[in-house]
Amino acid sequence: MKFDENFIKSHIDRDYLNEERKARRKKTNEFFTPYSIIKRMGDKIPEEDWSDPDKTFLEPTAGNGNFVLYIIYNRLCHGIEIEQILKTLYTVELMPDNVAEMKERILDMLDELNIDISIDKFNEITDKNFICMDFLEWTKNLT
């Protein structure tokens, strides 16, 4: 699959700062990173890391999945199978509704790309790897 910047940008920036997000941002001070920043950060990751099926990625403040979508899409474009991508991707997010939305957004993107993964397999992996808790508390459990 060839990297299509317009495709991934549209998925990341979709509904970015719609009225619901603007209201929520005022209450929670959440910031959902726009594509332009994600792209600049992603460009700093060496090409060999994107194409290494065993390379592990961690998104410690996942929000509703903007960085996660970019990571998944970029790794797909580098020939990594979706199941392997999910097995080597870890996210931590404080708000349960963001975790649920992130999973929905991933499935929507995969559907648009005609990439199949069983919902059971998707849930098995993401229920383990996509953690819903405070990142600093989560890191305490690592030792």
Per-residue pLDDT reduced to its tens digit, 67-107? 999 999 999 999 999 999 999 999 999 999 999 999 999 99
Quote the pTM value. Answer: 0.91
Question: CB of 33 within 8 A of CB of 67?
Answer: yes
Tens of pLDDT, residue by residue over 7-24, are: 999 989 876 667 777 787
